Chain A
Amino acid sequence: MTIAVIDYGMGNLHSVAKALEHLTREAVIITRTPDDLRNASRVILPGQGAMRDCMGELERTELTGIVQEMLDDADKPLLGICVGQQMLQQHSKENGGIPCLSYLSGEVKRFPSDMQEDGERLKVPHMGWNHVTQHHQHPLWEGIPDNERFYFVHSYYVQASNDADVFGTVRYGDITAHVATGRDATFAVQFHPEKSAAMGLQLLANFIRWAP
């Protein structure tokens, strides 16, 4: 049993690997070797930085096909984190428009820079701890109270087009962002469970146990 963190050159993979190592005796590997990924029992798709670079690096490291393969494998749980969630959608408006993996049909948009709340200007990136409202039940929410706070840092957010894909939302200004989306053996979150203290670790522990 091995959990593989997909290393396509973008993002901080070490935080998530450390959190997983804290939770399980299973092997946790950071890898870009196709066979390692195929042999792993579950995989994490992290992501940080600009969408153009994330999709570009995935292509350059020749991992796009492997990731597609794993998304289609109903026996292999996959957890997307941050830009990893955004990459699963159809399209992102970042960098002038970038086609994504199209596993889910959502679109990735930017928070407007002129949002206000109670007369206070809202900053972008949306950075810090915000409440996540659970939208549908899911095994990954087990033991996590509704409206629990998780740690976010992002300027772009997912707008899903299919309600059945949405498992959690966050409210920022007048935007409702779809911050937990998934289908079948795939679940993806905009927030950072590896940095969200006890409840973040709970979500990761749920992922480690998840048998879709």
Chain B
Amino acid sequence: MTLAKRIIPCLDVDQGRVVKGVNFVGIRDAGDPVEVAKRYNDQNADEITFLDITASHEGRGTTLEMVSRIAGEVFIPLTVGGGIRSCDDIRALLNAGADKVSINTAAVTHPEFVREAAERFGNQCIVVAIDAKRVSEEGETPRWEIFTHGGRKPTGLDAVEWAKKMAELGAGELLVTSMDRDGTKIGFDIGVTRAISDAVDVPVIASGGVGNLDHLVDGITQGHADAVLAASIFHFGEYSIDQAKQRLAEAGIEVRR
């Protein structure tokens, strides 16, 4: 009788289409976020995260329409991230049916925005995305910094201190992505996940680097994450969410079946 650890598949969406191939048997249109979200829901995903990578401002309307369609058919929590800069952006996403929004760059350029958003919409729907990169040398005490622009731009901010500050300002949850590991498939950066999770009261989602199901287990047991997020291992049909839960359960982790 315990709170379950969560498995969260992430969809990268560009102008209303899922990008980075999705390979499900029996899906008619693998580019349609609604079909992909429904498939994950059928596999018992605990939540769905939708990362909008649409560069153009005009593409935003399409995103809202897509969120609205998913929210009309999939009844598990839906987080939307990507390019959120104002309370109006948040309001529009929530009105479309999102349950949480994930704030990334805007939190770095304007931390007070996190407080403002949490006060207006409630902490429960404000996720702050933390993109961290290791800056210490081998052998030194590990240290991670916040990077923006897909890991290219350093900010000088210490990742653990930053995480604490975001939680204090009102983030209800932190999405911690290792920019060193993202896309590598060699597993989460356990060090940064654990350092942040142990330093804050709010739940932490581990992200970046998942290549197999044991990596998900490690994120929870060693990284102390409350939830694990992955994209490609689920998109390419290598593993289903059910299989991931099976593996977690075998490792003694409480999951929702």
B4 touches A129 (CB 8 A): yes
Complex A-B, nearest 5 residue pairs according to Cβ-Cβ distance, in ascending order: A49-B122, A129-B256, A48-B122, A153-B124, A129-B4
CB contact list, A159-193 vs B, under 8 A: 171-172, 192
B interface majority secondary structure: loop
Chain B residues with CB under 8 Å of A19's CB are 75
| 24 residue pairs from A and B, CB less than 8 Å apart | A14-B95, A15-B97, A18-B71, A19-B75, A21-B72, A48-B122, A120-B224, A125-B202, A125-B203, A126-B3, A127-B172, A128-B4, A128-B5, A128-B6, A128-B46, A129-B3, A130-B4, A131-B1, A149-B4, A149-B256, A153-B172, A154-B124, A155-B123, A197-B76
- Give the docked Cα–Cα distance between A86 and B172 (Å): 19
- Give the docked Cα–Cα distance between A19 and B72 (Å): 7
18 new A-B contacts at CB < 8 Å, known A129-B46, A153-B124:
A15-B71, A19-B75, A48-B121, A49-B124, A50-B122, A117-B2, A120-B224, A123-B203, A124-B201, A124-B202, A128-B3, A128-B5, A128-B46, A130-B3, A133-B1, A154-B124, A155-B123, A195-B77
Check: B159 CB closer than 8 A to any chain A CB: no
Cβ contact of B76, chosen from A48, A122, A195, cutoff 8 A: A195
CB distance from B108 to the nearest CB of A (A): 24
Chain A residues with CB under 8 Å of B72's CB are 18, 21-22
- Give the docked Cα–Cα distance between A48 and B256 (Å): 25
A195 touches B125 (CB 8 A): no
A48-B1 CB under 8 A given contacts A14-B94, A15-B99, A125-B202: no
For the side of the interface on B, what is the size category? Answer: 35 or more
Chain A residues with CB under 8 Å of B96's CB are 14
- Interface code B58-83, partner A: CB below 8 Å = 1, 0 otherwise? 00000000000001110111000000
Closest residue on chain B to residue A83 by CB atoms: B122
Check: A102 CB closer than 8 A to any chain B CB: no
Interface residues of A (CB under 8 A from B): 10-12, 14-15, 18-19, 21-22, 48-50, 113, 117, 120-131, 133, 147, 149, 151, 153-155, 171-172, 192, 194-197, 200-201
CB distance from B166 to the nearest CB of A (A): 14
Check: B22 CB closer than 8 A to any chain A CB: no
A interface majority secondary structure: mixed
- Give the docked Cα–Cα distance between A155 and B201 (Å): 11
Interface residues of B (CB under 8 A from A): 1-6, 41, 46, 71-73, 75-77, 94-97, 99, 119, 121-125, 172-173, 198, 201-204, 224, 226-227, 256
